[in-house]
Structure 1
Amino acid sequence: MIYLDNSATTKPDPGVLTSFEQISSHYFANPSSIHPFGGEAEKLLNMAKKQAAELLRVKQEEVVFTSGGTEGNNMAIKGIALQHQQRGKHIITTEIEHPSVFEACKSLESLGFDVTYLPVDQSGVVSVLDVKAAIRKDTILISVMHVNNELGSIQPIKEIADLVATYPKLFFHVDDVQGLGKVPLTLSHSGINLCTMSGHKINGLKGTGILYVDKRTTLFPLFHGGEQERNLRSGTENVAGTVSVVKALRLIKEKEATKLANLSRVREFLLHSLKEIPEVVINTPDNAAPHIVNFSVPGTKPEVMIHILAEKDIYISTKSACSSKQSDESRILVACGFPRDRAISALRVSLSYETTKEEIQQFIEVLKQAIHQFKKVME
């Protein structure tokens, strides 16, 4: 099998699975229980939080464990909106955000909030000047993703954070689900208040994640109950999941430090190979993240191409797994100004640190065959 859909989810690392299994088997007590067995589970939870803080270079009390990217994004955006709505109801985001951000903002519009969706250029990058121009007296939140999940375009997060730092009452949320472990980001920057991370995108387990909430930021909790996670996320803590996501975080940080250059080389090889296929048009910008390549084969149907590739045990995708079963047209490519024939025929290849050039060579050969097969059927 050649798996090239790592932006949708990654294969769990064996060490992560082992951690989850061991904790689930031997430390299954409720960490809120007052007996010693519960105390042992609580110690593991606190240790995991301390390790996560060290890896992310933030304070321990700024780490909140979640079930993943969707919850983290909703907790950040709705939490800020509901907590600070008396000061203002204006939110700024972009047209190319992940559905868990885009739809969260849409839901807030139904509650009377005003959302500005900023455009992007053809590279899928928002202008810092546009962000600055959109800020109003009633603006309470800016939410911009670090790396786009379809194109791999990298947003100017540091520049936006520098801007936000000059507005003491304005909060800045970053969706770093796709960037974590591939594109470095400094969370301790004074302009970043919230940051979302997901375990299953970094060889961890589904249902695990982290939300960074800096010590100056207050949120209205989406869950009420037992006041766990600093009263931000009530509910019995997933100790095994927490330990496993921290394990995944440590491992991906190690790979980022030692294997990032090789990942970039594999991506360059993929891009070069795709450009040699006459029917292929590259959508991803040159200076994109090292693991995502988006391209179109105008005149073909993405779902047909994916099924042809799958018959050869090669797996890629069209767009975000959260929206891949919806309309063929990519909302992201449309926002970048691409013509319809490219927006409805886009395919995404997303690499991991384990992807090899040999796998890419095999994929390219099968892709050529798939294009030829599709054209022959359509004749």
Structure 2
Amino acid sequence: MDFLLSGVLAITWQEIVMYLIGILLIYLAINKNFEPALLLPMGFGAILVNIPLSGVLDQTLAGIGNTSGIIEWLFHVGIKSSEAMPLLLFIGIGAMIDFGPLLSNPKMFLFGAAAQFGIFFAISVATLLGFDLKDAVSIGIIGAADGPTSILVSQILNSNYIAPIAVAAYCYMALVPIIQPFAIRLVTTKKERLIRMPYNPSNISRTTRIFFPVIVTFIAGMIAPASVALVGFLMFGNLLRECGVLKSLSDTAQTSLANLITLLLGLTISASMTADKFVTPATFMIMGIGLIAFIFDTIGGVLFAKLLNLLPGQKVNPMVGGAGISAFPMSARVIQKMGLKEDPTNHLLMPAIGSNVAGQIGSVVAGGVVLSILSTIL
């Protein structure tokens, strides 16, 4: 009887908080459809790792001795020692992306760069709040609006806050339909939101589509060598899509591989969601900084579009600049919906997708750039 009660009596108030957080993540996944493929396993994992004596983490049990936990094993094998899971996920993401709208309007590359402003602003805020440089950079990458990039960078830098960073990144990605309209309306006028952008796609040859991922990998590798793994796996996935001779592998990467890695990644990240690491003032600070990063990413892209409109030529709807964050394809859909709300005949989806795809590249390059800078400084 004492053995049966030992687990219940060992529960702390911090672990109860984690149970509630896990239930909240599960609720958001099921009832609100917020990133369910990741928030559901992450929420359930948060409950699992905080059950005393559960055996899912490495621990010493009375009468048994040292035990190896499956979730902790997955964390060490798939993230800590190799960063394999987030990198493999990039193959699936790359296979899903059509770079056609971006190649039809290369100007959209600029929005993918401008909308990373929130990363560097958040790094500055985190540093001012007392986080050391490695943790500040890891927190700032939340602004990339890309969960795998956030996880990968924080793990490479050995951040103490991998779990809160992952939770913040994916939660705010899920909240893009709420966060972005607020940020965009804050810095635009109704007249600007009514600007029409006719979409006249050029014919992108198969050769161009095949060479594009190869060239991007070379350029990223020369500018920021630390980004090669991030950009390279993303571009390899896209090459599978565009080469035309590996359709079954491309389909597998987009579906089975991406779904399996996402599922395991959600459970694995929960290894860092133990109460002693998660229920701290730093976690709430990270969530706040992450929100700031998302808002300023969007504002950075919008303001850059407004700056371009000062030049002669076709005017850009500033809302499209806000799609330069990496939350693909959610951000593009948000811009399309906002455009139709202002004018039911103004379709901005394709220009927004071009900007959004550029943001996907921009986020992984930004992650590599900060890693390269840190490797030089430290």
User: Aligning the two structures, in what range does the TM-score lie when normalised by the shorter sequence?
Assistant: under 0.3
TM-score normalised to the size of structure 1? 0.26
Structure having the higher strand fraction is: 1
Considering Cα pairs closer than 8 Å and 6+ residues apart, tell me whether 1 or 2 has the greater RCO. 2
**What TM-score results when the alignment is normalised by the length of structure 2?**
0.26
- Which structure shows the higher helix fraction? 2
